[in-house]
Structure 1
């Protein structure tokens, strides 16, 4: 039943995401709407199957324990909401003179928000991978936490997650131009309208930001296992503070890129803070150097693209060569780090 519920949740979540983003032209809010609908349906089905369990005696101690564990998720969720949505507010509040200096007088604050939101859609590919991982990861680490091999298993999972994230990063970042140029059959429109392509430079930065969010989810295992969820509001509100401060500082200098960098900084700091508290509560030999190595490799290959093109290769051929080199390197690193470990 658990597997069926989780599978159904993922199917509804992903299906709604693709429908809202591709069919109805929603932005990042599609992720929240899809997650809400999928969660409500899952909760309804669970309620139907668990009605008999509510016929027992009231347990005040258990209620206190549940509240201590669950209540911190409310302010933590608030912090996450700030991280996801506040950037549009600051972009919309950009002074026209700043827009003129960074872009041109042809753009308004609404145009900048529209371009940013449209290009944000490509980062959703990484976010979907992260959310799919989260849905499978949380029940898995709770089941495995009592096993003697759990720390090693969690470490290997972290490395394999980085391999998957690096693959997604390389594919979306290198082939962003081809992806946005895809025409939707029957509907006859581009995946991202041509007038929004001016913001494609923010895509790799946002992909890295959500990659770090994946780290955050990986490292949350120790917090859940040790039941120290009181740390979560502290971490997410620190992240929200970084997002707000960085947007205020960077947007006047870099526009949309400043907002993307603020998101990256926030998720990176949150990931490292939760790593500190998580490994103190439940020691896991995470291979951070390998994780950072994969990030640097993937980002380096992407930013090497103009150099490869300068040798006379087409944009598509350069992307294919770099993607192939990246996949081969990631596969080798994963094999050495995970599969060759005795």
Structure 2
């Protein structure tokens, strides 16, 4: 049962991650172009607009994404499932119209407050329109997730990505619209794909509205407003405070460095979350040995995630040097610090399981609001003194405290025997190797690159051939390798038997 669950999670996560992988590759390829056609101020503006949208979409959606997944999975007939989706859709339509009408009344004030001048109001207006379109996209994507239509989700993601790239290149390079070009490109691609997704939803599900169901969904979903709003503040408050204490140029450098760990986060954590929160988490809860399965899924996913962030952290100087313009080079330090913070953050996805299974969503705002307050307080105090690197370290502290708070909040609500010994070993070894790598930093870029390659292999080898994996896990790994090619499994088994770590 455990292996079946892991395979299903892995299969859908891989399909979802293909869209994220394409997006990451596109971002990497286009980064040298963007950093040469967009100034650091342009990057700063985009970061601030994205931050404002991330905050407001939380209120607009009012927790209906997790509510739709919850009620859809618990519905005992196809008609009731259709009612859940239709009710969610109409609520988001009305909520979206109300919010964009209100926001347009205050667009000049928002520009002065967050972008330092009313002359930037056009960016605020574009962000408001994108907010409305984003709500429809999110609804359509959530519908595909709860129905496990990962292939259709991939097609939609790739289509949107292709349209976005083409539009961005035209608006930025040909028309020289700079930051406005980025927003125009996203708007065009989002409108086209959003219309298709809503059309698909209406055709396959219908758009029936049920007022009584709306009340029940609001009771479950409303706690996600302070929860997700605080989560977004926790992630992005530094982008709103940096212009106040430093400059939009610093926001640009910081935002670029922040982008790399979050691209990886989107590739892995978000892809996993789409299938985890939409269905698999609830399916595991119905199994007899659910506690063991939850614990193992946590260990396996966090291991993969930490190793991926470790590779990014180690290679950060070379990656930034190759992909970004020279004036952005110091962003590699931000990449490393945020990457460490993201490793701590990844734990919370499993610590909060009880909130969803036991309908304790009102517990969630506690950890999120406290973490957001800590992040804002630290940034308010330290940013004027130490600049944007203080924001990066504040993020690490915030994510660590956030995950710890969630663990203690839900450990009695829904006890899960997490394998903290193994995961602590993983984090300790990984951080230790990063510190050693940084202490040996080489000014020669070629030598630094080869040194980074050496360090990037150390942690994966220690995990695969050391004591980290249990005996049955090594056997399972060998079996999976055998399906790929028998010689590969044989080679792994021989290396394992000869491992100096094992002999020692």
| TM category, shorter | 0.7 to 0.9
- 2:237 aligned residue: 86
Relative to structure 1, the CA distance from residue 85 to residue 276 in structure 2 (aligned partners, 3 Å threshold; closer, same or farther) is same
Q: Compare relative contact order (CA 8 Å, sep 6+) and give the higher one, 1 or 2.
A: 1
Shift of 1:90: 1.9
Deviation for aligned residue 1:196:
0.7
The answer as to whether partners of 2:242 and 2:388 remain within 8 angstroms in 1 is yes
Instruction: Provide the alpha-carbon RMSD of the alignment.
Output: 3.5
Query: Cα distance, 1:341 vs. partner?
Result: 11
Provide closer, same or farther for how the CA distance between residues 47 and 142 of structure 1 changes in structure 2, counting only shifts above 3 A. farther
Matched, 1:318 2:451: yes
Residue 304 of structure 1 aligns to a residue whose secondary structure is: helix
Q: Indicate if the aligned counterparts of 1:239 and 1:269 stay in contact, CA closer than 8 A.
A: yes
The question of 1:233 aligning with 2:365 is answered: yes
1:141-168 Cα offsets, whole Å, 9 max, x none, are 1111021211111111111122112211
Query: 1:199, 1:277 → 2: CA distance?
Result: 35
Match of 2:251 among 104, 108, 113: 113
Residue 154 of structure 1 contacts residue 284 of structure 1 at CA under 8 Å; is this kept in 2?
yes
CA contact (8 A) 2:310 2:339 kept: no
Residue 271 of structure 2, aligned match among 122, 129, 132: 132
What residue number does 1:269 align with? 401
- Aligned partners of 2:337 and 2:393 also within 8 Å: yes
Aligned residues: 315
Shift in Å, 1:22 = 5.7
The question of 1:163 aligning with 2:297 is answered: no
Q: Cα 1:127–1:283, aligned 2, differ >3 Å: closer, same or farther? A: same
Q: Which has the higher helix share?
A: 2
Instruction: Give the Cα separation in 2 of the matches to 1:231 and 1:338.
Output: 37
* Matched ranges for 1:72-83 at <5 A: 72-83=223-234
Instruction: Tell me the CA shift for residue 288 of structure 1.
Output: 2.3
Q: Which structure has the bigger radius of gyration?
A: 2
Which SS does the other structure have where 2:346 is aligned?
A: helix
Rounded to whole Å, the distance in 2 between the matches of 1:80 and 1:177 is: 29
Question: In structure 2, what is the equivalent of residue 123 of structure 1?
Answer: 261
Residue pair 1:21, 1:121 contacting (<8 A) in 2 also: no
Please tell me whether the aligned partners of residues 72 and 233 of structure 1 are also in contact (alpha carbons under 8 angstroms). Answer: yes
Q: Are positions 1:41 and 2:140 aligned together? A: yes
Q: Distance in 1 between matches of 2:216 and 2:418?
A: 29
Say if 1:333 and 1:50 are closer, same or farther in 2 by CA, change over 3 A: farther
Could you tell which deviates more after superposition, 35-44 or 166-175? 35-44
Among candidates 377, 381, 403, match of residue 245 of structure 1: 377
Which residue does the alignment assign to 2:325?
A: 193
Asked whether the equivalents of residues 162 and 294 of structure 1 are also in contact (C-alpha less than 8 Å), the reply is no
Counterpart-to-counterpart distance in 1, 2:417 and 2:248:
46
**1:300 matches 2:461:** no
Secondary structure of the residue aligned to 1:283 is coil
Shift in alpha-carbon separation, 1:94–1:155, aligned structure 2, 3 A: same
5+ residue gaps, structure 2: 1-7, 35-42, 55-129, 144-197, 477-504
Q: TM-score, normalised by structure 2?
A: 0.55
Pick which of 300-309 and 273-282 moved more: 300-309
Segment drifting more, 245-254 vs 164-173: 245-254
For the Cα contact (< 8 Å) 2:13–2:271, is it kept in 1? no
- Matched residues in 2 for 1:239 and 1:333: separation? 35
Whole-angstrom distance in 2 between the partners of 1:173 and 1:10 = 20
User: Given that residues 159 and 334 in structure 1 are in contact (C-alpha distance below 8 angstroms), is that contact kept between their aligned partners in structure 2?
Assistant: no
Which of 274, 298, 314 matches 1:174? Answer: 314
Residues in 2 aligned to 1:309 and 1:113: alpha-carbon distance in whole angstroms: 26
Who is 1:106 aligned against?
Answer: none
Residues 305 and 322, structure 1, Cα contact 8 Å, conserved in 2: yes
Counterpart-to-counterpart distance in 1, 2:338 and 2:382: 15
* Alignment check: 8 A CA contact 1:90 1:247 kept: yes
How far apart, CA to CA, are the structure 2 residues paired with 1:146 and 1:323?
A: 40
- Find the aligned partners of 2:450 and 2:13 in 1 and give their Cα distance: 39
Instruction: Write the distance in 2 (CA, Å) between the matches of 1:338 and 1:265.
Output: 36
- TM-superposed deviation, 1:316: 2.3
Question: Does residue 469 of structure 2 align to residue 335 of structure 1?
Answer: yes
Q: CA deviation at 1:320?
A: 2.1
In structure 2, do the counterparts of structure 1 residues 305 and 8 end up closer, same or farther at CA, with 3 Å as the change threshold? Answer: closer
In the alignment, is the contact (CA less than 8 A) between 1:209 and 1:268 conserved in 2?
yes
